[in-house]
């Protein structure tokens, strides 16, 4: 899954540079103020985390400008209003090198993603940036301070450990917070989830404050009460993943560090005033590092699990769509094969049946003219039956040919109302008895836009529907014909032709098969009328719907696309 673009990418490069400079200067000033009396080095250096996050969130072409900004800004931020000595610029150069090496290793060799939603990203940040690259700043800086006599060489290892741990904790606490929140912010969280995060932060801060305020003093043993923060870190990891865990860790660090520097809490070594606060702070940071790494690892594992579930859901959805498309393609292929076979059969029937059928029809007509049988006699009745059967067979052959013939409508933009009216009048003329007993109601929208259609084919389809509706009411009833706008499909407007009769209705078993070829409930029907209707409507990129209540009537609805009106015409 691709890494989302971080929020700061929307800013102008100068705006991002200004923001990074402000954050780095403030964090360097804060770190310098954490240096306690009698110490030279800060046991907590948040500027290291800000520098690494700044480089990881910036493009490579901005790194030279960032390097110069970080190098010049740190000494003046640590000593505001004064000219820093050369040692400060040396340490600033080491800190800048530390941040650049760490960011380069993460980008070049770890394929690092700032969202920290993978376990490998958390491990890479811990190993390459927090543990390895910080040594590039701690070792030369401490060596330089010892060489100029700021402390004895016997203190070199102790000062190196304080410098290294302070930079590492700055990376572990500040970098995840800046990386995760600038990458996704509050994305994906509902209002309730956001208030839950606020409640988590407030509860965590209050609990840790009480623990460090009232914890009994000890020399070098962790008090069990210090682990009361662990459930809150687990809560943050389970509910908010990396973003919530980073915010919870910063809250825990701020409260615990402030109390430890004041000589309160379970991490203070010895009675108050007997041990340097910096030593106690280093002791605290081992606890914070363990909790931070554990929480971020759990959050990253949950993030990977969530991404795997989302990917599985996405693949399942694509698989279902592919199966549906495959099934539809297979049905279409079977239908085309059946239509091809039916076309060959229809051509054979038309050739083999129509010729003798024409001879029979001509013979019946000739006998009727030559023999001149008496009306109402047996001969006259038999000639009438023969003529009717010839007509029925001819109708069947024509229906077969209409159904098997490939439909390629010639779509011309024209009025749909005239086609509906023409098909209705044609059906009424073909059913004179129904015209006298059925009350026809028309509701045709005169303002309906034109539609692309083949008037001849659509006339045939609508005539079949009107004829079926009239034949469904042999004892009279009402036929309601409506033409208007239907619900649009996507961006395409639709026309809706509704044909409602008050006949006997259609039972569910018949409705399930009514569009199948050669399925009919009429004694003299061919079973091809509705199949032809559906083929014609689908050839016009529309569809047919039917609703029926047995004993009350049936409604056929034909939905057809209307012509797209140009935007200029719509405005006019």
* Assigned architecture for domain 9-185: Orthogonal Bundle (1.10)
Q: Supply 56's token pair.
A: 């990881």
As a whole number, mean pLDDT of residues 436-459 equals 87
Q: What is the DSSP letter of 499?
A: E
3-state secondary structure 13-81: HHHHHHHHHHHHHHHHHHHHHCCCCCCCCCCCCCHHHHHHHHHHCCCHHHHHHHHHHHHHHHHHHHCCC
**301 compared with 337, residue with greater pLDDT:** 301
Q: Is 570's pLDDT higher than 50?
A: no
The rounded distance, in Å, linking the Cα atoms of 533 and 526 is 13
As a whole number, mean pLDDT of residues 378-385 equals 75
- pLDDT single digits (tens) 399-432: 666 666 656 778 888 888 889 998 888 888 888 7
Q: Supply 451's token pair.
A: 């539609």
Q: Supply 346's token pair.
A: 């229809």
Residue 220's pLDDT is 45
Q: Is 101's pLDDT higher than 90?
A: yes
- pLDDT single digits (tens) 147-205: 988 888 888 998 888 889 889 999 999 999 999 988 888 888 889 999 999 999 999 99
CB neighbours (10 Å) of residue 285?
25
- pLDDT single digits (tens) 486-514: 888 878 889 999 999 988 888 888 888 78
CB neighbours (10 Å) of residue 290?
10
Predicted TM-score (pTM) of this structure? 0.60
Cα angle: 71, vertex 75, 78; to 5 degrees:
135
Q: Is 96's pLDDT higher than 50?
A: yes
Domain 412-571 in this protein, CATH class: alpha beta
Give the least confident one: 164-168, 275-279, 330-334, 393-397. Answer: 275-279
Look up tokens 């012509």; give the residue.
563
Distances (CA, A) of 86 to 76, 83, 159: 12, 9, 20
Task: State the DSSP string of 392-443.
Answer: HHHHHHHHHHHHHS------EEE-HHHHHHHHHHHHHHH-HHHHHHEEEEEE
Confidence of residue 4 (pLDDT cuts 50, 70, 90): very low
Beta bridge partners of 485: 495
Specify the pairing of strand 477-489 against strand 438-444: parallel
Residue 525's pLDDT is 62
Residue 337's pLDDT is 76
Query: Domain residue spans in the chain?
Result: 9-185, 187-349, 412-571
The rounded distance, in Å, linking the Cα atoms of 65 and 82 is 24
Residue 524's pLDDT is 61
Confidence of residue 373 (pLDDT cuts 50, 70, 90): low
Average pLDDT, the chain: 82
CB neighbours (10 Å) of residue 288?
21
Confidence of residue 12 (pLDDT cuts 50, 70, 90): low
The rounded distance, in Å, linking the Cα atoms of 567 and 489 is 18
Beta bridge partners of 481: 442, 499
As a whole number, mean pLDDT of residues 259-272 equals 74
Q: Supply 402's token pair.
A: 């209409």
Residue 99 CA to chain centroid, in angstroms? 37
CB neighbours (10 Å) of residue 456?
11
């Amino acid at each position: 899954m691709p890494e989302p673009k971080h929020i700061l990418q929307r800013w102008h490069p100068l705006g991002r540079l200004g923001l990074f400079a402000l954050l780095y200067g403030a964090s360097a000033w804060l770190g310098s103020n954490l240096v306690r009396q009698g110490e030279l080095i800060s046991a907590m250096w948040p500027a290291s985390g800000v520098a690494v996050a700044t480089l990881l969130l910036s493009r490579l072409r901005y790194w030279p400008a960032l390097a110069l900004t970080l190098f010049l800004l740190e000494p003046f931020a640590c000593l505001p209003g004064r000219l820093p000595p050369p040692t400060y610029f040396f340490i600033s150069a080491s800190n800048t090198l530390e941040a650049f090496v760490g960011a380069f290793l993460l980008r070049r060799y770890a394929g690092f993603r700032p969202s920290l939603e993978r376990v490998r990203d958390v491990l890479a940040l811990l190993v390459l940036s927090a543990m390895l690259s910080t040594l590039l700043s701690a070792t030369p800086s401490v060596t330089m301070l010892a060489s100029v006599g700021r402390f004895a060489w016997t203190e070199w290892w102790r000062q190196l450990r304080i410098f290294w741990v302070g930079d590492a904790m700055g990376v572990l606490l500040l970098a995840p917070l800046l990386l995760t929140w600038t990458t996704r912010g509050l994305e994906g969280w509902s209002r309730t989830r956001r208030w839950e995060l606020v409640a988590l932060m407030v509860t965590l801060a209050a609990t840790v404050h009480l623990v460090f305020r009232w914890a009994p003093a000890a020399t070098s043993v962790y008090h069990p009460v210090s682990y009361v923060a662990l459930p809150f870190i687990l809560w943050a990891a389970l509910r908010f993943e990396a973003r919530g865990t980073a915010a919870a860790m910063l809250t825990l660090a701020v409260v615990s560090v402030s109390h430890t520097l004041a000589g309160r809490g379970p991490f203070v070594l010895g009675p108050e005033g007997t041990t340097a606060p910096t030593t106690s702070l280093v002791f605290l940071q081992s606890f914070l590092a363990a909790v931070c790494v554990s929480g971020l690892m759990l959050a990253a594992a949950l993030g990977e699990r969530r991404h795997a579930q989302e990917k599985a859901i996405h693949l399942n959805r694509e698989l279902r769509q592919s199966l549906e498309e495959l099934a539809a393609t297979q049905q279409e292929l079977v239908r085309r094969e059946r239509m091809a076979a039916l076309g060959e059969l229809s051509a054979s029937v038309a050739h083999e049946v129509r010729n003798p059928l024409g001879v029979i029809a001509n013979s019946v007509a000739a006998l009727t003219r030559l023999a001149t049988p008496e009306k109402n006699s047996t001969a006259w009745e038999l000639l009438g039956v023969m003529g009717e059967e010839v007509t029925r067979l001819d109708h069947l052959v024509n229906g077969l040919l209409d159904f098997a013939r490939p439909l390629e409508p010639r779509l011309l933009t024209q009025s749909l109302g005239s086609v509906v009216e023409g098909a209705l009048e044609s059906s009424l003329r073909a059913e004179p008895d129904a015209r006298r007993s059925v009350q026809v109601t028309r509701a045709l929208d005169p303002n309906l836009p034109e539609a692309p259609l083949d008037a001849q084919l659509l006339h045939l389809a609508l005539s079949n529907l009107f004829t079926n509706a009239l034949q469904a009411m042999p004892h009279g009833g009402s036929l309601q014909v409506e033409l208007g706008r239907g619900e649009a499909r996507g961006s395409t407007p639709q026309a809706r032709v509704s044909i409602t009769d008050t006949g006997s209705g259609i039972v569910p078993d018949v409705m399930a098969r009514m569009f199948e070829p050669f399925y009919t409930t009429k004694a003299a029907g061919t079973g091809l009328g509705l199949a032809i209707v559906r083929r014609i409507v689908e050839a016009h990129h529309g569809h047919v719907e039917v609703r029926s209540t047995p004993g009350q009537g049936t409604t056929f609805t034909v939905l057809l696309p209307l012509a797209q009106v140009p935007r200029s015409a719509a405005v006019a």
